[in-house]
Amino acid sequence: MDHHSSPQISSFVLRFVQDEPINLTDQPLVRGSIRHIQTDQERAFTQWADAVDFMRQFIPAEIFAESLKNDGER
């Protein structure tokens, strides 16, 4: 009998908010929040690296490393 393990699933909802700049010559300010669906944990971020750090808590390191490697090959 062949037993298959259930896949590990991590789902996230990302919300981006773009605020108007104070000065017309400035770039718009971007901020957001990310929520892990399975645990309902949420974190606000102003830099993408903070959102990635949050996801790393839930995604196995070897999957993250493989994903980054594949992105570099494009």
pLDDT along the chain (74 residues), means of 10: 73 92 76 96 94 92 71 56
Assess if residue 23 is contained within a domain. Answer: no
pLDDT at 18: 86
Assess if residue 3 is contained within a domain. Answer: no
Assess if residue 6 is contained within a domain. Answer: no
Assess if residue 59 is contained within a domain. Answer: yes
Assess if residue 64 is contained within a domain. Answer: yes
Rounded distance, CA 29 to CA 47, Å? 10
pLDDT at 5: 79
User: By the 8 A CB rule, do 73 and 51 touch?
Assistant: no
**How many domains, in total, are found in the chain?**
1
Assess if residue 57 is contained within a domain. Answer: yes
Assess if residue 2 is contained within a domain. Answer: no
Assess if residue 42 is contained within a domain. Answer: yes
Range of the domain at 47: 30-74
pLDDT at 56: 92
